[in-house]
Amino acid sequence: MKCVSMVKRLAVVAVAAAALAGPATSAHALQFNSGDAVLGVYGNGVEYVKNLGSYQTLITNGLTLDLSSILSQVSPGGQPLAYAIAGYNGGNTDVFFGSRSPIADWTAQNKNQFQPNVLFANLQGWHVNLASAGDTRDFFPKADVLSFSSNLNQSGANTLGGAVPAVRGGFAPVGELMHLLRRTGGPSTLTEVSTAFLSATGQLQIGTVAAVPVPAAVVLFASGLVGLVGLARRRMSGTSQKAA
């Protein structure tokens, strides 16, 4: 009986200790590998970085992610927020990234100006540094050697470290649609494979972006036309009946 009582006491102590310790965390080292899509949300002194997982899975299945709590932590500073997505598959032949411009706006010259080797080198260097650091942070000061800006926006020109022509932009402002592009060979293989959208309320959608709603004024105008047509038909019908 004394043994049973002692076991019960130990169990109570263990439960109490667990309660004091709080819920278990899932802290993990931030890193990404070949094929992963890396998200950066930046613009002020604090930046957010997240591995979104397989790029192929994202463009096949889409993704919806709530980042509302993230925006409140990176927004202080007064500058507009932007977001970027980038990654590579194996080397500099197969790379992917987000652009402010749809593929239709990429001229042949723009496609030739894009430098996949530069994007790969910047990502690979970042990957190695993150893996070596074993850092579990998701938020980084802009000047931190592991931050998004220190690795993919050193000049502040939003060109993913000089890989993307400035006129096309390797980013999108928060609240604006991003076009996800992929290059698997020469310049002509640069194609648009999906879209992403990070709303001002922090909702990230990839491949599931809803169609832009028709402005209310257009709807009202169309409704008014339908009403006028109906009224005209009724009047014509009434006139015909009187004539008969």
52: its two tokens: 């979104």
What pLDDT sits at residue 29? Answer: 79
Q: What is the mean pLDDT of residues 222-243?
A: 47
pLDDT at 136: 93
pLDDT tens-place string over residues 25-36: 345 678 899 999
pLDDT higher than threshold 70 for residue 232: no
- 21 in a domain, yes or no? no
Is residue 161, in this structure, part of any structural domain at all? yes
Report how many domains make up the chain: 1
Q: How many angstroms separate the Cα of 18 from the Cα of each of 9, 21, 212, 235?
A: 14, 5, 49, 79
Is there a domain that residue 118 lies in? yes
Q: In 41-63, which positions are buried (b, 16+ CB within 10 angstroms) versus exposed (e)?
A: bbbbebbbbbbbebbebbbeeeb
pLDDT higher at 28 or 2: 28
Is residue 58's pLDDT more than 70?
A: yes
Residue 87 domain boundaries: 36-206
Tell me, yes or no, whether 135 lies in a domain. yes
pLDDT tens-digit profile of 108-137?
A: 999 999 999 999 999 999 999 999 999 999
Residue 17 within any structural domain of the chain:
no
Q: Is residue 192 part of a domain?
A: yes
| Model pLDDT, residue 209 | 57
pTM recorded for the entire structure: 0.75
Instruction: Indicate whether 240 belongs to any domain.
Output: no
Flag whether pLDDT at 63 surpasses 80.
yes
**Cβ-contact 171, 83 below 8 angstroms:** yes
Residue 195: in which H helix or E strand, if any? strand 191-198
Q: Could you give the CA distance from residue 132 to residue 19 in angstroms, rounded to a whole number?
A: 34
